[in-house]
Amino acid sequence: MSHDLFEAARDAMGKAYAPYSKFPVGAAIRAEDGRVYVGANIENLSFPQGWCAEPSAISAMIMGGAHRIREIAVIAEKLPLCTPCGGCRQKISEFSSPDTRVYLCDDQGVQKTVTMAELLPYAFDTDVIG
Ligand code: THU
């Protein structure tokens, strides 16, 4: 992966609104249109109402007119190699493939690459129903 996705995720993390957890997270998606869409976590005083960086980036992607995640980078300043939470894995899965690469970053760059199949094995899939 070129550095641009890491840098985009890191810049997005700088815009996180995380006054309660103090755990800023950034995500950057390269979509099928080749463009990069970013997001950060946005918390709320009513704690369950906050949301993660990954759905912020997915929302930006959808509103930008794209629908497929080619690759995605995630970064959290306080946790090197922050993996997407369970709910985020399901949300990413909706717009990606088992071989979609997920880049886990630290402040230096991408430190580990995993696939969606590794992150979300036995993903919920209704194809068998027909
Ligand atoms: N968070 C994310 O943005 N993405 C994840 O995949 C894990 C958790 C956020 C949610 C909350 O604002 C903060 O990290 C602490 O859980």
Task: Decide: 54 in ligand 1 pocket, CB within 6 A.
Answer: yes
Distance 21 CA to ligand 1 centre (A): 9
- Distance CA(60)–CA(78), nearest Å, equals 24
Closest CA to 100 of 27, 29, 9, 7: 29
Q: How confident is the model at residue 58 (pLDDT cuts 50, 70, 90)?
A: very high
Q: How far apart are CA 38 and CA 59, in angstroms?
A: 9
Q: Which atom of ligand 1 is nearest to 43's Cα?
A: 12
Cβ atoms 57, 39 nearer than 8 A: yes
Q: How confident is the model at residue 110 (pLDDT cuts 50, 70, 90)?
A: very high
pLDDT in tens, 6-47: 999 999 999 999 999 999 999 999 999 999 999 999 999 999
CA atoms within 13 A on the CB side of 122: 0
Whether ligand 1 lies within 6 angstroms of the CB of 88 is answered as: yes
Q: The pTM is what?
A: 0.96
pLDDT band at 126 (very low <50, low <70, confident <90, very high): confident
Rg (CA), the chain: 14
Domain 2-128 has CATH 3.40.140.10: yes
Domain ranges of the chain: 2-128
What band does 112 get if pLDDT is binned at 50, 70 and 90? very high
Q: Is 52 in the pocket of ligand 1 (CB under 6 A)?
A: yes
